[in-house]
Structure 1
């Protein structure tokens, strides 16, 4: 499972089921941790939840 965040055609975040981590892909995205130190852990949790929903949806479609 891979999810990416894009803004104006530029990738800003990457998540995959191998690393199980949301990773910023632009230097300016690192600045968000100054205001919210737990931001990337929070985003990782969101992506992990979306991954589980996606798995269920795929299984539903396969039936």
Structure 2
């Protein structure tokens, strides 16, 4: 969740890392419910996307 123009929005990210070590952004939603519903509906495509990118690190750097 983040603030955008005075309102809260919800960003959906893939559970993997891109070439720069960042988590790839997928889409932004106005509500948490719409973000969750979209991610559930696109779970297969998101998993395929994750498989094409680097894994999440097991531990975060201190």
| TM, length-normalised to structure 2 | 0.29
| TM, length-normalised to structure 1 | 0.29
